[in-house]
Structure 1
Amino acid sequence: MISVIWWNHPRVRDAATAALVLAAELLGHPYTGLGVKVVSIAVGAAGLMLVRRRHPIVVAGLVGVLYLIGAQPPPYDTPVSAMLIALYSVGRHAPAPASIVTAALAVLGGWVVQDLPWAAVPPVMAAALVLTPVLPMAAGRIVRLQAELSHRHEQQIVEDAVRAERRRIARELHDVIAHHVSVVGLYMGVARRMIPADPERARLALLTGEDTARQAMTEMRHLLDVLRTDGEPIENQAGVGIARLPVLIEGSGSATLEVSGEAVELPTSVDHAVYRIVQEALTNTRKHANGARAQVRLAYLPDLVEVEINDDGRSRPGAVRPGLGLAGMSERVSLCGGEIHAGPSSEGGFTVHARIPLPEKM
């Protein structure tokens, strides 16, 4: 896992590319020998590979200059490998108009180096002169487009996950707020009929309270209708909460639970958020690190609740950790005023750590 991440670092890959170019240019002259000109061109071309991502046009131009210098005798030496990689980098990292201009200049430069007549060039040679710079640049362009499409697809998936989590939050808010606001309206109605002192004034005040409660319910339903998809039923959230964590962890088959601090009754939004964080973390462990064991630590602190999930597994090559569910968890924790962090741990596994503040009066 660590070696894969290390190799995927752009600077490491650029350094490896520079080493390959240097080796190709130095080992490509067994007969002419390693003269000052050969070594200078090889070192210069290899050094330019280190900045080809940040300055692809400049690198292609400078490699082109080295190509023209190398084509002058003696001996005949051109940094072909560096030129092909530079043209690929232009297609991969430069805008389309700049890529087209660079390709045209590369074709023109190749024509000048070969010193061919403009009118009587065999079709095969003309095609080779054109395709040699165009093909690597086109390959870079194709890779760039594929990467952009993949990035957009990933963004769309994350956005869909966030929207789905918001809809689930809306359903939970409906269960919580609708119940409490309805109780407020009920008790105010009872008080209106039971208070003996100054009944008229009490009646008017409580009528106002009832109307306010009903208005709050109406506005809340309008807000939830915006978040919820059309016709989506309200799900029962009775099986969600810290009280259900032991059942959840037992069902995972490979996790343990450790609770510290004095347990307190949590707001329903916080209670549900903690449960969903643990649920998503354990799901990601099973999905991306099959066979790993996880430890869930729940801590009640004076002004916050803290939950941490650690596993001892390693992701499969190419697997995405921690999964798209983290986007929804981040949304949920943010709405509770907390913070969440997820990433590889120093011991080699994966850690999800969330801290959610609690109201001053529970």
Structure 2
Amino acid sequence: MNFFRRPRVFDTTIVVVLALFAGLGLILSSVQTGVDGALGSAHFLLTSVLLLVRRSRPVLVAGAVTAFDVIGIAAGLVTSATVPEAIAFYSLARHSSGRPSLVMTAVGMAAYGTVMEIKGPGIGQFLAGAFVVAIPAGIGALVKTRAELHERGRRAAADAAVQAERRRIARELHDVVAHHITVINALVGGARATLAPEQEVTREALESAQETARQAMSEMRRLLHVLRADGNDGPDAATGVGADRLPALIGEARSAGLPASLTVTGEPVTLPTAVDHAVYRIVQEALTNTRKHASGARASVRLAYGSEAVEVEVLDDGVPQQGGTPGFGLGGMAERVALCGGRLTTGPRPGGGFRVHARIPLEAT
């Protein structure tokens, strides 16, 4: 049954069924009623074939069927509106909207009403001709309205489910991750307080760790605010991250013990929000991976602005550590770049180290 619910299959089936009736009528009319009956059946067949494009060209189909029916009624080939006419005007209201649909419906009502009144004088004939258009068009409009309301309800339910899931994630982040970051910050602060005065290097490292933990908590709070909000701007909308914060990110990496540098080429431009966030997160994740998996490595970041695209590249010269649990960083990068219409390449460098390169077009966003 699902096979026949496909639009093209369903429309073809309708036309085939109507064509069979038209063919049978054509044969019987040729034998019993002569040329006029055969022309009437041919007229029915022609208007039926037009229904093959009733979804893609509803206004054209309704206009063509109206023209053929008016000519057929005036010539005496048919006595009234036909089944193809009802389907055509139902499709007009169901699959079209706006002024063209309304104008075509009004034209159809006037045309059928006028030709019916000419064939059989009287206001009743005119109204009958108008109703043969108004009724299927009204049914089509009703079905369209119900379908739109159903789709709107489905989308509302999906949005509600997404919002509920975002709030659940926000609760988990607050109750678990934020708690652990707070504990780490407190432990680092306690350890720093117990250091001897001469342990200055260790003190600086702990201060950097404590500052990083505070920044993580600040960003976590902003992210929780976004997750709890009803907007659809994405989880980075209110975090304040972007290409302009890359120098600060490089500074944080240096404070954490990773020698890193930043090179910017081209004329800096204001990036679309999604691209701006993606650039920052790619560099952030790449530097994090270097610290985790290539101890003692040096990293370099290159941000290149172009007229059609922005490129970001992160290189390191480290030797990957064996073992460890793979994370989701590279997959997350690929998803961000793909959503912006760009391309991401990652992998070992021929001379050693690792390379992350993303090219994101500006027009695609």
Aligned to 1:153: 153
Name the structure 2 match of 1:55.
57
Give, in whole Å, the separation in 1 of the partners of 2:124 and 2:77. 26
1:84 pairs with one of 83, 86, 94 = 86
- 2:33 match: secondary structure: coil
Q: Report the Cα offset of residue 57 of structure 1.
A: 0.8
Q: For 2:45 and 2:155, how far apart are their aligned partners in 1?
A: 41
Q: Distance in 1 between matches of 2:24 and 2:112?
A: 23
What's the Cα RMSD here?
3.5
1:201 is displaced (CA, Å) by: 6.1
Show the counterpart of 2:5: 8
Give, in angstroms, the shift of residue 23 of structure 1.
Answer: 3.9
Q: Separation in 2 of the partners of 1:125 and 1:20?
A: 30
In structure 2, what is the Cα distance between the partners aligned to 1:179 and 1:208? 20
- Quote how far apart the aligned CAs of 1:51 are: 0.5
Identity within the alignment, %: 34
Residues 114 and 130 of structure 1, relative CA distance in 2, 3 Å threshold: closer
Mapped contact 2:114–2:126 kept (Cα < 8 A): no
Deviations 1:242-279 (A, max 9, x none): xxxxxxxxxxxxxxxxxxxxxxxxxxxxxxxxxxxxxx
Question: Which of 201-210 and 59-68 deviates more?
Answer: 201-210
Alignment of 1:191-210 (within 5 A): 191-196=191-196, 198-199=198-199, 202-203=202-203, 206-207=206-207, 209-210=209-210
**What amino acid sits opposite 2:73 in the alignment?**
A
What amino acid is aligned across from residue 17 of structure 1 in structure 2?
I
TM-score normalised to structure 2 length: 0.55
Structure 1: runs of 5+ lacking an equivalent: 231-301, 306-333, 340-359
Per-residue CA deviations over 1:108-165 (Å, capped at 9, x if unaligned) read 2223433539xx9544333222211111111111111111111111111111111111
| Counterpart for residue 258 of structure 2 | none
Distance 1:90 1:62, change over 3 A: same
After TM superposition, give the deviation of residue 53 of structure 1 in Å. Answer: 0.4
Return the offset for 1:218. Answer: 3.8
Change over 3 Å in CA distance of 1:79–1:17 after alignment to 2: farther
Q: How far, CA to CA, are the matches of 1:70 and 1:111 in structure 2?
A: 14
Q: Structure 2 counterpart of 1:32, which letter? A: T
Larger RCO: 1 or 2 (CA < 8 Å, sep 6+): 1
Residues in 2 aligned to 1:213 and 1:304: alpha-carbon distance in whole angstroms: 21
* Structure 2 counterpart of 1:32: 33
Distance 2:54 2:138 in 1: 16
SS of equivalent to 2:118: coil
Aligned mate of 1:99, from 88, 98, 101: 101
Distance in 2 of aligned mates of 1:74 and 1:133: 20
CA deviations on 1:70-124 (whole Å, 9 max, x unpaired) are 225464466601111111111111113222211221122223433539xx95443
Alpha-carbon shift at residue 200 of structure 1 (Å): 5.5
Q: Which residue of 1 aligns with 2:289?
A: none
Distance 2:228 2:78 in 1: 71
Separation (CA, whole Å) in 2 of partners of 1:76 and 1:215 = 81
Distance in 1 between the 2:164 and 2:133 partners? Answer: 47
Q: Structure 2 matches for 1:54-203, cutoff 5 A?
A: 54-73=56-75, 75-76=77-78, 80-114=82-116, 116=118, 122-196=122-196, 198-199=198-199, 202-203=202-203
**CA deviation after TM superposition for structure 1 residue 166, in Å:** 1.2
Greater gyration radius? 2
Q: Distance in 2 between matches of 1:110 and 1:173?
A: 67
CA contact (8 A) 2:113 2:125 kept: no
Task: Give the partner amino acid of 2:3.
Answer: W
Counterpart for residue 18 of structure 1: 15
Partner of 2:224: 224
Partner of 2:357: none
Distance 1:337 1:170 in 2: 24
Q: 1:202-281 counterparts in 2 under 5 A?
A: 202-203=202-203, 206-207=206-207, 209-228=209-228
Q: What is the deviation of 1:54?
A: 0.3
